[in-house]
Amino acid sequence: MRHAAASFEFSERVGRAVHLAVCGAVLVFLVAPMLVVIPLSFNAEPYFTFTEGMLRLDSDAYSLRWYRGVIEDAEWRLALVNSIVIGIAATAIATTLGVLAALGLANPAMPGRGFVTSLLISPMVTPIIISAAGMFFFYSKLGIAQTHLGVILAHAVFGTPFVVISVTATLVGFDHNLVKAGASLGGGPFLVFRRIQLPLIAPGVISGALFAFAASFDEVVAVLFLGGLQQRTVPRQMWTGIREEISPEILAVATFLVMLALILLGTVEWLRGRASTRPGNAD
Amino acid sequence: MARPLSGARLRAAALTLPLLAFVAVTFMAPLGSMLVRSFYEPHVADALPQTLESLRAWDGSSVPDENTFRILATELRLLDQQRKLGGVATRINRLEGGMRSAIMDTARALRDAEPDSWREAMTAADPAWGTEEAWRAVRRAGERYTMRHYLNALDLDRDPSGNIVAQSPERRIYLPLLLRTLGVSLAITVICLILGYPVAYLIANASPGRSNLLLLLVLVPFWTSLLVRTTSWIVLLQNQGVVNDLLVAVGVIGDDGRLALVYNMVGTLVAMTQVLLPFMILPLYAVMRSISPTYLRAASSLGATFPQGFVRVYWPQSLPGVAAGSLLVFILSIGYYITPALVGGRTGQLISNMIAYHMQESLNWGLAAALGVILLVTVMSLYLVYNRLVGIERMRLS
Amino acid sequence: MMGNRGDWRVLARNQERVLFAVFVTALAVGTSGCGSEGITVVSWGGSYEAAARKALFEPFTAETGIAVHVESYNGGLAQIRAQVETGNVHWDVVDLEFADAVKGCDEGLLELIDIDELPPAPDGTPARDDYFEGTYSECGGGMVYYSTAYAYNRESFPGERPSTIEDFFDLAKFPGRRGMRRVPLVNLEMALMADGVPTEEVYAVLSTSEGVDRAFRKLDTIKAEVVWWEAGAQPPQMLADQEVVMSTAYNGRIFNAQVLEGQPFTIVWDGQLLDYGQAAIVAGTPRLEAAKQFLMFASRVESIAEIGRYIAYSPTRRSGMSLISTHAETGVEMRPHMPSAPENLTRALRNDAVWWTNHAEELTERFSAWLAR
């Protein structure tokens, strides 16, 4: 019996070591690719690999020329402005509509909730090429292809599922008697929303909005189908860059996008931390 | 009691209405217009109304009569003058190779002709007009409502008597591609499960601080631009890239034996696995977090080895997470477009890339739509299964 | 705790206001069509586009005050057709391969331009007589000759170096990956020439289905080693990175990589295809007048010849030949690098645009089915 227990312990220890090694490898596989672009974006040479100078940490082997190239390039600047304008506008639409819908869905009285939810989430699971192709046909008919409006609407509808999901999550376990109580005290629906529900769902709203913004900021296929020269966004520029002329300028932009991702992720996690310490919210 | 309840129902429903309307207009209607394109093709029917009318009585077993030749010649000439012939010729050509040049050459030859026999003049311009195949192609291209895009998408065709038959071997590409897409998606799902399961287990059983840190590592790629991740893989995997350089430096391969790791199926598999891995880990983690470690401990105290305990006790409890993660990864990968387009080269392309090709390059929009509908139906059925099994409300983003 | 909630409310209130303001501005931006003055001219990216910028776009804007927005594409009529068929024309002038110009003109995708409207030669010779045989269509005149030849990186071949089109298809003699453009055009012709078909018979052979089979069989022999490119800027990049040991490429791109970046590239002037580009106006553009103005400017002999000071492409007008001089940035004599130089034409095939107009559709379909397998 003792022998068996010892061998169990031993095999468990070996197993644990193997397990940790595997997990380490997988995490490296997940994260390392993004880290590799960062040093390469400072490469003084127009190559996509570490030069000998870089490995020796020779300061001449590093330079900011690709960053300068991006900043001085009017196309990249236009793309950045477009990405921000489209991202914010799409997020605003997605957030407004998504929050309203989530409030409705969280209400126990909501009829056909399962069906409506799956309908509202469907833009997220539909293959992007199909959505974009359909939008190309339909938006052309409406005359809003090749306009900012067309791209904004497309990105807004791609963003709504994120808002619906994260706001619904903050409303899980919400006591709807609070709304009734608020209403019985004479509060109008808007006042009740502002005073009772909004403070509670605010973290969900903001993380949903950040998700929607990140989704728009990363979206390229709808822009390919719906956007013209004036609607070029950062991912669209990268797309052409990757397919046609891989220049280290792309790595500079990629580094910027990694930083942006870290900031967005940090914010969302911070919000989540705050939300989960709030009473009355079952996370 | 009934009225306030229905009022509450109405209020709740009213809150979802704006978004429902928005999704209907900006998303459902576009999908609808694509569905319509997959079976409705009015172009040729509108361009050659009289010819098609005249062909209605044609039995298809011999070349039509002189009158039909004259009507077609008249309509072709009119289209030529309006500079609309090319689009019509292209569409007919899709059904019968060689028809484009036949139509264009004939229209050019007939520009100022007033022949006694239109039949002779047209067969002189292009002998194709003396064959039934050419006329059948015209008639079929003129069908306003058609299943041919679906047949085409499934590598099927109609023989002269209208029976559905298999496409000739060198034109059979869509079914193999669809199967390849399903196979690749399955492979990616399995790889993600194998790689993701131990990581999810680790995170679920770590101390809260550590587990948060590990979760962050999983979430970083989740938040990072897909294009950035794809670029990274090109940088890493290309011929002169970091991985090959490393292998050469270590001496595993020679400088002339560098491995082709990108712009092929390997590139697609590696990059897509990395991109989709978080979608496996997160649902697994969510389920594993709720599995109490005491079960495993109980199993071991009863004398079970870790593998025994794991297989009998832990794995069955984690199955909901396995199902949720696998379905999610599978659904997302069959519709993948960007990664295969950028790192897949010729051999690593999936069905979405073929749809994009027909949307943007061959402009065979009907076929693109039919392929799209087939893909959409596949994805939506899986989505319904997911919905049944997991419940979409429980989908979590972080 | 209460303090936190207060913060949230303030944040939420302000956010509403900010979001509303942004929403309104965005809609205003979206619906105003972004106020794009000027015309959109579509070129081929990379160093050819850079040459066109200096030789055509910038001087045109300086002369007329009309801004030129430049968009890049990789050839083909698809995007033009999509725009015309959906009634969404946002490209005004496109620099097309000649076969596409002829086809697009046939199909009503391009505006008709009478050859007599085009500017005459400096000595007064009418455009009709100044253009080389068959270098204009009903939709405008040609601009410059270019060749699609193959080139290699000398560093990839320390020993014997490839010198004929047969070598490109000879994996045993010259192993390694090859770059080829992802279209049937050029590749099928090269395959037949490498298979022993004399240049003057290539299109006759390719007109038979046995000939097409033969070309694809030849391509089959190197298929596994081919890296397919789409943009003209890719081949020099792939050669520089040694991603491929040799690649078909537009000769001007290789020339620019040679003189501007000092790349050790060699063009093999054997079994290449000579072709020319044509600028044409997309049918139904709302900016027809400005587009026409640009087309006239770009058709001037001086403009065409000016392109040849930035990239090794030669004029399609007789009067332009005497204007070939030196490279604007490095002073290199351009004549020996031109695709029209007699010493470069010992075994060259002239692309048959009319033939391709009739066969492109089927061969492209077959080619993409072949690629997908």
* pLDDT for the residue numbered A3: 58
Residue C58 lies in a domain: yes
Residue C372 has, within 13 A of its CA and on its CB side, a CA count of: 25
Is the C-alpha dihedral spanning B1, B5, B8, B14 positive or negative? negative
Same domain for C87 and C141, yes or no, is yes
pLDDT score for B3: 47
Contact list, B241 vs chain A (CB under 8 Å): 48-49
Are B69 and B129 a contacting pair, CB within 8 Å?
yes
What CATH number is attached to the domain comprising C301? Answer: 3.40.190.10
Backbone angles phi, psi at C172, to 5 degrees: -70, -45
Q: What pTM was computed for the model?
A: 0.89
Q: Are residues C155 and C258 in the same domain?
A: yes
Joined tokens for residue A274: 């705050």
Query: Residue A123 is inside which H or E element, if any?
Result: helix A113-125
C170, part of any domain: yes
Q: Residues C313-350: pLDDT tens digits?
A: 999 999 999 999 999 999 999 999 999 999 999 999 99
Does the domain formed by A74-276 have CATH 1.10.3720.10? yes
> How far C45 CA lies from chain A's nearest CA (Å)?
9
Contacts of A168 in chain B (CB under 8 A): 393
Mean pLDDT along residues B342-369: 92
Residues C226 and C356 in one domain: yes
Asked if the structure places residue C221 within a domain, the reply is: yes
* Share above pLDDT 70 across residues of chain C, in percent, rounded to a whole number: 90
The domains of chain B are located at 43-143, 174-394
Cα A274 from Cα A281, distance rounded (Å): 11
**What backbone phi and psi angles, to 5 degrees, belong to C270?**
-150, 130
**pLDDT tens digits for range B167-195:** 888 778 999 999 999 999 999 999 999 99
- At C37 the pLDDT is 76
Q: Quote the pLDDT of residue C86.
A: 85
What's the mean pLDDT in B8-31? 94
Q: How many CB atoms lie within 10 A of CB B168?
A: 9
Picking from B98, B158, B83, B85, the residue whose alpha carbon sits closest to that of residue B129 is: B98
Q: How far is A202 from chain B (nearest CA, A)?
A: 16
Rounded to a whole number of angstroms, the CA Rg of chain C reads: 24
B152 touching C (Cβ < 8 Å)? no
* Segment (H or E) for C70: strand C68-72
A245 with C231: Cβ contact below 8 A:
yes
Q: Which domain holds residue C214?
A: 148-273+352-372
- Cβ-Cβ pairs closer than 8 A, A with C, add up to 97
Residue A7: its pLDDT value, please? 62
Task: Give me the residue label for tokens 């995007």.
Answer: C79
The whole-chain average pLDDT of chain B stands at 90
Tell me, yes or no, whether C18 lies in a domain. no
Given this model, what pLDDT does residue C34 score? 41
Q: Which fold has domain B174-394?
A: MetI-like fold (1.10.3720)
> What's the mean per-residue pLDDT of chain C?
89
Same domain for C218 and C183, yes or no, is yes
User: pLDDT tier at C2 (50, 70, 90 boundaries)?
Assistant: very low
pLDDT at B261 over 80: yes
Q: What is the pLDDT of residues C227-269, one digit of tens each?
A: 899 899 899 988 988 889 999 999 999 999 999 989 999 999 9
Q: What is the ipTM of this complex?
A: 0.90
Q: Is C206 a residue whose pLDDT tops 60?
A: yes
Chain B nearest C-alpha distance from C142 (Å)? 21
Predicted confidence at residue A246, as pLDDT, reads 66
The radius of gyration of chain B from alpha carbons, rounded to an integer in Å, stands at 29
From the list B221, B228, B331, the residue facing A31 with the nearest CB is B221
Tell me, yes or no, if A282 comes closer than 8 A to chain C by beta carbon: no
C368–B contact, CB cutoff 8 A: yes
The string of pLDDT tens digits covering residues B192-209 is: 999 999 999 999 999 988
C189 and C226 together in one domain: yes
Contact pairs from chain A to chain B, CB under 8 Å: 290
* Interface contact B98, partner C, CB < 8 A: yes
**C68-72 and C93-97 strand pairing:** unpaired
- From residue A107, alpha-carbon distances to A159, A160, A170, B268 in Å are 22, 18, 13, 43
User: Is pLDDT of C36 > 60?
Assistant: no
For the CA atoms of chain A, what is the radius of gyration? 24
pLDDT tens, chain A, 283 aa long:
455 556 656 777 888 899 999 999 999 999 998 888 899 899 888 777 777 888 888 888 898 999 999 999 888 999 999 999 999 999 999 999 999 999 999 888 889 888 999 999 999 999 999 999 999 999 998 989 989 999 999 999 999 999 999 898 888 777 778 877 888 887 787 888 888 888 888 888 998 999 999 999 999 999 999 998 889 999 999 998 888 766 788 999 999 999 999 998 888 888 877 766 544 333 3
Q: What is the pLDDT of residue B82?
A: 87
- Sort A56 into a burial class: Cβ within 10 Å, 0-12 / 13-18 / 19+: exposed
pLDDT tens-digit profile of B99-139?
888 998 899 899 888 888 999 999 999 999 999 999 999 99
Please give the tally of structural domains in chain C: 2
Euclidean distance between CA atoms B277 and B310, whole angstroms: 23
What is the average per-residue pLDDT within B70-92? 91
For residues C253 and C358, state if they share a domain.
yes
Specify the length of chain A in residues. Answer: 283
Nearest 10 degrees: CA dihedral of C150, C151, C157, C163?
50
pLDDT at residue B221, rounded to an integer: 85
How confident is the model at residue C5, as a pLDDT? Answer: 37
Highest mean pLDDT range out of A23-32, B55-64, B101-110, B252-261?
A23-32
Contact assessment for residue B128 and residue B28, using Cβ atoms and an 8 Å cutoff: no
Assigned domain for C27 exists? no
**Res. B281: pLDDT tops 60:** yes
- CB-CB contact of B99 with B89 (8 Å): yes
* Strand partners for C281: C93
Chains linked to C by 3 or more Cβ pairs within 8 Å: A, B
Report the pLDDT averaged over residues B393-397: 55
User: B360 is written with which tokens?
Assistant: 């943007």
